[in-house]
Structure 1
């Protein structure tokens, strides 16, 4: 017992709450303070845990929102990627371009198609201006070509005259930097672009479900035809206005210009029944392209714009009432052209096979070849006349 009391007295003397040194220095701490301190510390720790749990919940919510945002964009990317997997390169490129515009601009699908159409048409603008320059040069060259053609007809389309006329025409075209196929440049540029756009949008309509909610106003669903026929009518109307205002630009005074205009008018009239079953997404490109062509034609008509771009200005004057020799029939012209080609080939082969002799014999051979060619032309004419006479006799007998 004495040992226990000694230990207790030792512990008691060393307790900071009972030590006389603490009491003497005024640092005497009540016995109940320890329990209150423990209670306050536990309360503070519990509040921090609540705050940590709250921050964790906020982080989880933000993470869920981020995942949802990424997931909302992932289907569109996967849709276009899957749709473009088996397409040709131009069609695939247009599909990806429309998709990139849709993602980076935030436009709806119809706005993305319109923006992509304007971008592509702006890229083709230099080619269109170059084609207009070439067409205008060919129109300016046309009177000179008509003079050569008339001279060939006055000479009876003899092979020598046709060969000489062809040579002069080629020299003139080389001088002006044009070819007979110059008017087809526009078709070769715009045609593939239109076909690629048509195929790209058509493929997206069939394989991208998000286009069902990608339109405004009455055509929200871009994958179905327009039951109100407003979009087909707008397409036909914008195309017809473009034809009436701009179809003959660069073809002033050219008889082919009026033919092109009439054919385009017929196509404008057939646009509504031919396109009534097309999905609405295609009209987003088609109407935009027509409006761009209309605006381009109105701007390019200005002489100041033509002068700035270096486009020749055509001052058209109506033809005078001078008597012109009627043109030969089509088949007769073909016969003359074939005879001229035979004459040129015979002349070239004779020049290549002829040995190197003195100049007089060469000069003597030219009249003989001309006589032979002239006799062949006469024989062809006689045969054609005989056929015509026989045909008339048969008709009379009937």
Structure 2
């Protein structure tokens, strides 16, 4: 009896050889093991049953090959793609544990557990970062008046210096940009509001979104590391009772696209004088919102439900950050775009732009 154990994947292979004759030269060799009922013979490049009898042992011996498998992934020697490597990474594994633990502790059905977990994570992590982002943006906007004054003074000093030393126009522009950049950097350091800090939200939100999406994808396809007591196949509701299947009605994918477009338009309406770059970014986000509709229609309903829940929570947070009372509680500095009636202004601007 030969036992072969793979400690990482918890795979056990048992080979039993019952001798009826002299088989001193017989040396069974296992090329590969699969979790299915067949294996790939690397010599002939063909798929063969995992439990079979060898013609060499006909009339002499019988071989029984028993495989007990715990993992959900196939053992392979091929190098994983970058997508499979990310889906099989430690952060995704920890996210799977988080989702399963949350569902087991709350006792909620999977559809409700996904929505509540999304709300909890976005409120506990991304909302504080959104407040911090608003504070940085408000401080940077408040510095614009001071920067304009200092820029005029610098331009005058450069013109005086140019007359003294006979600088060309190109040299004047060089010294003006160089010194203005230094002055602006000093102001950002003084007020602790470097614009890069405003991008902290996206650097946290995007990896969290990817990990949760891949974790739900693994659990839906039965490829997760964590065993499920109550499967996602019966954890849905209404028109999506099976969360492992796609939403054939396209209700959630279309709703996802509309919510993302609404968030984009609310952000665009806030920009009083958008630059060309801001217009390009806004149009790019609009395009991505539309592209997400067919993508969401091809993934399991659990992933689509998470994306829709995340977008709805993001919309609610964006509207909450417009509230003057909430901004005052969070001590967000006032800006030019602030209003005492922000929601009425958004509705009026939306009607004026898209309806009238």
- Common topology (TM > 0.5): yes
Deviates more, 1:225-234 or 1:150-159: 150-159
Query: Which of the residues 160, 166, 176 maps onto 2:191?
Result: 176
1:238 aligned residue: 259
* Distance in 1, Cα, partners of 2:268 & 2:213: 23
For 2:88, the equivalent position in structure 1 comes to 87
The aligned residue for residue 123 of structure 2 is 122
Q: Secondary structure at the match of 2:136?
A: helix
Summarize deviations over 1:128-172 as a string: whole Å, max 9, x none.
211111122122223444555675698544443333222211111
CA distance in 2, matches of 1:306, 1:87: 41
Kindly state the Cα deviation for residue 216 of structure 1 after the two structures are TM-superposed. 0.7
Partner of 2:101: 100
1:206 aligns with 2:227: no
Asked whether the 8 Å contact 2:137–2:198 carries over to 1, the reply is yes
CA deviation string 1:170-220 (max 9, x = no partner) = 111112212242332221121111111111111111116821221111111
Cα contact 1:252–1:314 (8 A) shared by 2: no
Does the 8 A contact of 2:296 with 2:304 survive in 1?
Answer: no
Q: CA deviation at 1:90?
A: 2.3
Structure with more strand by fraction: 2
**8 Å CA contact retained: 1:117, 1:288:** yes
| Closer/same/farther in 2, CA of residues 228 and 266 from structure 1, 3 Å limit | same
Matches within 5 A, 1:1-398: 87-124=88-125, 125-145=127-147, 156=169, 157-207=172-222, 210-246=231-267, 253=273, 255=275, 257-316=278-337
Partner SS for 2:218:
helix
Counterpart CA distance in 1 for 2:186 and 2:310 is 38
Distance change (3 Å), C-alpha of 1:222 and 1:149? farther
Q: Which residue of 2 aligns with 1:69?
A: none
Structure 1 segments of 4+ aligned residues over 6 angstroms from their partners: none
TM-score of the aligned structures, taking structure 2 as reference length = 0.59
Q: Compared with structure 1, are the counterparts of its residues 148 and 202 closer, same or farther at alpha carbon in structure 2 (3 Å cutoff)?
A: farther
Offset of 1:118 from its aligned partner?
Answer: 1.1
Cα separation, 2, equivalents of 1:158 and 1:241: 42
Deviation at residue 273 of structure 1 after TM alignment = 2.3
Contact 1:97 1:116 in 2 (8 A): no
Q: Tell me the TM-score normalized by structure 1.
A: 0.53
Q: SS of the counterpart of 2:221?
A: helix
Which shows bigger deviation, 151-160 or 126-135?
151-160
Contact 1:152 1:158 in 2 (8 A): no
Distance 1:198 1:149 in 2: 47
Tell me the matched-pair count.
238
Note the alpha carbon deviations across 1:203-253, whole angstroms, 9 max, x for none: 11111682122111111111121111111001111111222224566x655
How far residue 279 of structure 1 moved from its aligned partner, in angstroms, is 1.2
Do the aligned partners of residues 93 and 201 (structure 1) sit closer, same or farther apart at CA in structure 2, a change above 3 Å counting? Answer: same
3-state SS in 1 of match to 2:298: coil
Q: 2: CA distance between counterparts of 1:258 and 1:182?
A: 22
